[in-house]
């Protein structure tokens, strides 16, 4: 019984206990509006444009992130259903997402 997703641990109090290594992640509830935000907190002053509110699965988010990175000529990643693009590229990302039919709102300062 060797399963990659779970492991069995023995406890003297209750016997065998099975733990899940990775809990199932569900996308957050979306309202149909994509929000762009410039974040610098916790990043040593470096600005990162975050794109949240896209109603897509993880593979579609990665494909969208790849397109946005090519448009902005910079790096980025997908973390917890939020696309992070390095630098302040809110206007370019807004134009690209509106061209694809999304409703986009600039959030934050």
Q: Residue 70: which CATH number?
A: 3.30.780.10
Range of the domain at 89: 33-106
Asked if residue 3 has pLDDT above 60, the reply is: no
4 located within any domain: no
For residue 8, list its beta bridge partners: 18
State pLDDT tens for residues 81-95. 899 999 999 999 999
13 located within any domain: no
pTM of the model: 0.72
**CA–CA gap between residue 6 and residue 59 (Å, rounded):** 24
20 located within any domain: no
| Contact (Cβ atoms closer than 8 angstroms) between residue 34 and residue 52 | yes
Work out how many domains the chain is built from and give that number.
1
Distance of CA 55 to the CA centre of its chain: 11
């Amino acid at each position: 019984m060797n399963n990659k997703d779970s492991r069995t641990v023995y406890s003297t109090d209750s016997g065998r206990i099975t733990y899940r290594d990775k809990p199932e992640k569900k996308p957050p509830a979306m309202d149909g509006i994509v929000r762009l935000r410039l974040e610098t907190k916790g990043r040593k002053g470096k600005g990162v444009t975050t794109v949240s509110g896209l109603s897509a699965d993880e593979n579609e988010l990665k494909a969208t992130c790849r397109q946005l990175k090519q448009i902005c000529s910079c790096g980025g990643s997908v973390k917890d259903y939020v696309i992070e693009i390095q630098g302040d590229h809110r206007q370019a990302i807004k134009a690209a997402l509106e061209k694809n039919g999304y409703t986009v709102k600039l959030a934050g300062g």
